[in-house]
Structure 1
């Protein structure tokens, strides 16, 4: 008789200590947000501290070296302001970003479709594997020169050269994602007689999202660089062309000014577009 009240008392005490196992979704989401936000704030402070350390090291290096060899951060910022006021920097930056967007979109679409086909069908993988190895190992400079020779010094040749250099890396990443798709989930979709469109959008494609985002991030980092080389070799506008002009006049301040402006755009795209998009698309995994 004395055992049941003791067990009941222990259960009530444990229930008062432990949080409820089942809670409404709003409360659960709020608890997760509260637990994540301190880490997020800490990451922001660490990124800010890293940026400040970089500027400090730069300033110390500029004081040690000659100003003509390494300008100070203040001198570079002043040059950026002058270039923005004259509309030279926004104009060249807009042209380069336009080429990046077109080449990136084409490379992602073509690379994703071919990668999914190679990951899905063994015969397709065997047929295109040699092409893929060849595309991965041809230097970007060779592709750029050939496109300019074959199609002329125009924007379409430049964009084609950039896309050709990026497509193989997208194919490799997406192919591995297609191979990693869980076949049991596809069997469940067939058991519930879902349409092909619904199966692709709700079952197949969400499993490819991490691989697509990895291809997009690596693709942007590669396309930025190739576009500058393309503009340096054969275009009369863009950030790469302007860097070539600064190089001819040994204008290090101008080179660093355009480099910092370009890097700021890259960091903005990464922080305000790619990271939020990846968190939103992979929210179902958590």
Structure 2
């Protein structure tokens, strides 16, 4: 008697449950926890400053209500937005120039040993020279022209951006590059589907570092050699010995930086990293 072949089969395992698609709830929960942590840090910082102001009882350490009053005055003053717009324009132009130079130099260093040896001394010197030196030199060289802050920002931020992009280029998967070469991908496809996704973490890390340097340098340039901008107004408050005014301008400047970080950079980074999250789910 012939055995039923179906009887010899081992019972097949139940089909695996379908993978759950990443929905908006975990992302929303993560964002909520992140916002709560940031708010907790801000509360600790404000509470610690107020406690220090009360304990010292000094005109040099104004309390939170006095600083908040100055912040409220700035928020309804049209001149604040004029000076802020001037500073943002300088930062945007200088950072764009630094990003273009840093990306080109970093990729060249990562792809070519000769380029790495050629640019490496310049990157090391750029990382060593303080931003204050670049600010002073550009004030001496260019005066009050727009090229002054743009050049100072580019000279300060480009080396750090170059190093970040270089490290990201060196960390790229060589098999992806070999695949693109074997299949003869056009340059635009290699740039869009191989290079940019692989370099995105390094580019965003470099952008954060470059922006932080740009903010610091532009304030120095505006203090020493400009007649407008946030740094210029901070210098005026310092000359008037108004500590609360200095801190109010600093707080408003920090708020703008936070908006750019959380509202722009993180949004772009999450959008660029969607394919990584989709693969991980």
Runs of 4 or more consecutive aligned structure 1 residues displaced over 6 Å after TM superposition: none
Question: Aligned residue pairs: how many?
Answer: 270
Q: Does 1:28 align with 2:21?
A: yes
Partner of 1:58: 49
- Cα displacement (A) at 1:59: 2.0
Residue 230 (structure 1) aligns with: 221
Instruction: Check the 8 A contact 2:94/2:151 in 1, yes or no.
Output: yes
With over 3 angstroms needed to count, the CA separation of the structure-2 counterparts of 1:180 and 1:147, relative to structure 1, is same
Cα shift at 1:11: 5.6
- SS of equivalent to 1:157: helix
Return the match for 1:100 from 83, 91, 97.
91
For 2:250, which of 251, 256, 259 is the aligned residue? 259
After TM superposition, give the deviation of residue 39 of structure 1 in Å.
3.7
In structure 2, what is the Cα distance between the partners aligned to 1:224 and 1:124? 29
**Partner of residue 128, structure 2:** 137
Deviation of 1:210 (Å): 0.3
> 2: distance between equivalents of 1:204 and 1:181?
8
The alignment partner of 1:211 has SS state of helix
Of residues 189, 193, 206, the one that matches 1:215 is 206
Q: What's the TM-score, normalizing by structure 2? A: 0.89
Give, in angstroms, the shift of residue 281 of structure 1: 0.5
Structure 2 unaligned regions, length at least 5: 1-6
TM-score, scaled relative to structure 1: 0.87
Residue 49 in structure 1 maps to residue 40 in structure 2: yes
Aligned: 1:171 with 2:162: yes
Unaligned runs of 5+ in 1: none
